[in-house]
Amino acid sequence: MNVQNEVILLLGKTGAGKSTLGNLLLGRLDNHPFTASDEWESKTKNCEVATFTFENKTYDLVDTPGIFDTREGVNPLEKISEFVHKCAHGVRAILLVLEVGRITDEEKNSLMTIRNFLGKDARDNFIVVFSKANRNQVKDKRIAWNKIEILRTFIEQINNRWGISPNPDCYETEREPHEKRLTEIKKFIAQIKVLYSTKQFEENQKRLAEEQRKKKEDDERRKREYENKIREQEREKWEKEKENLKKEKENLEIKISQMKNYDTDSDSERDNWRTTSVPIKEVSKVTNVPKKEVSKVASVPKKEVEKTSDTKGIAILSSGITGAAVGTAMAPGIGTAVGYLAGVVVGVVVTL
């Protein structure tokens, strides 16, 4: 596509009314040369050029695909970029078409995207054109853009170059105000003193690429830092966990060792008890029963007497033997047994 003249670019989001405005600027009401869409879908797929003459000067009016056009195979900014690179005579005006009414986030985004895409140097060439205004807004040129911060800032930066696109629904019936609005836009175009060059565009593209590269680097660095931080936190957590487990293990080992010692102590205590057998002569001494009589009197075999290992047992046994001795003295035979039993009972009661 050859570009022979200074260019007027129509830019904006999909469906904003770029093709419609282009046709009206050319004085065409037949949906030509640019095709406006009657459907929900985006229409313009490639940059299209039409010659436009105003105040004896000829321009190439360029309709572009809407930014945020997500159709397969359409990368609007790439297409616009390719085209701007070919604008050997420079760009005179950039008509940024924004839908009036609700200025949505998408609308704000389209403004920021285009502003960033072309860079600061394009400020001298921008004209904001509000589309889809109602009859009164068209008639009075009245849009409350100054209530929206981003718009106010931008329009002030571009020296209040803003206009209203004619409403195609009532253009023919209310020609006068609509023509006025078109003339205002054309006058703004003619008043623009400086051209936006492909060189400025290329420099801005380089700046954007550099910014993107830096952003990517920053993002990757932040991602790495974040991952390292998470890894470090995990490591510290595991170190603590390991330390806790180690302490727990040590405590358990101490406990096990204490239990082992306790077992050993109990064994030796038990062994002590076991070995604390009471010799017959001691029993005889305590009970005043002759040594050879002790086992007889107690009706307990001699070795059982000696095996008896606990003090309670000895006391009970001694009590039994004493009882038996007393019983024998009182009534030999039955008295021994009765006395022994009575002695045991007394021993149990007293000891336990």
Ligand X SMILES: Nc1nc2c(ncn2[C@@H]2O[C@H](COP(=O)(O)OP(=O)(O)OP(=O)(O)O)[C@@H](O)[C@H]2O)c(=O)[nH]1
Burial status of residue 302 (CB atoms within 10 A of its CB: 0-12, 13-18, 19 or more): middle
The yes or no reply on residue 336 touching Mg ion (CB under 5 A) is no
- Of 96, 95, 21, 93, nearest to 57 by C-alpha is 93
The one among 5, 19, 200, 322 contacting ligand X by CB under 6 A: 19
Binding mask 92-131 for ligand X (x = CB under 6 A): ---------------------------------------x
Binding mask 21-50 for Mg ion (x = CB under 5 A): ----------------------xx------
Closest distance between ligand X and the C-beta of residue 189, in Å? 18
What distance, in Å, lies between the first and last C-alpha atoms of the chain?
120
The yes or no reply on residue 177 touching ligand X (CB under 6 A) is no
The yes or no reply on residue 12 touching ligand X (CB under 6 A) is yes
Between helices 76-85 and 105-118, what is the axis angle to 10°? 30
The yes or no reply on residue 17 touching ligand X (CB under 6 A) is yes
Report d(CA 60, CA 58) in Å as an integer. 7
Closest distance between ligand X and the C-beta of residue 206, in Å? 28
Residue 86: CB partners within 8 Å, gap ≥ 6? 1, 3, 198
The yes or no reply on residue 137 touching ligand X (CB under 6 A) is no
3-state secondary structure of 289: coil
Report d(CA 127, CA 162) in Å as an integer. 5
Which neighbouring-strand residues pair with 91?
7, 196
Closest distance between Mg ion and the C-beta of residue 82, in Å? 17
**Cα 179 from chain centroid (whole Å):** 54
The one among 92, 132, 161, 178 contacting ligand X by CB under 6 A: 132
87 φ, ψ (degrees, to nearest 5):
-80, 75
Stretch that binds ligand X, among 14-22, 193-201, 266-274, 277-285 (CB under 6 A): 14-22
The one among 19, 23, 125, 328 contacting Mg ion by CB under 5 A: 19
163 contact choice in ligand X, Mg ion, none (CB below 5 to 8 Å, kind-dependent): none
Binding-site ranges for ligand X (CB under 6 A): 12, 14-20, 36-38, 42-44, 65-66, 131-132, 165, 167-169
Query: Which spans of this chain sit near Mg ion (rule: CB under 5 A)?
Result: 18-19, 43-44
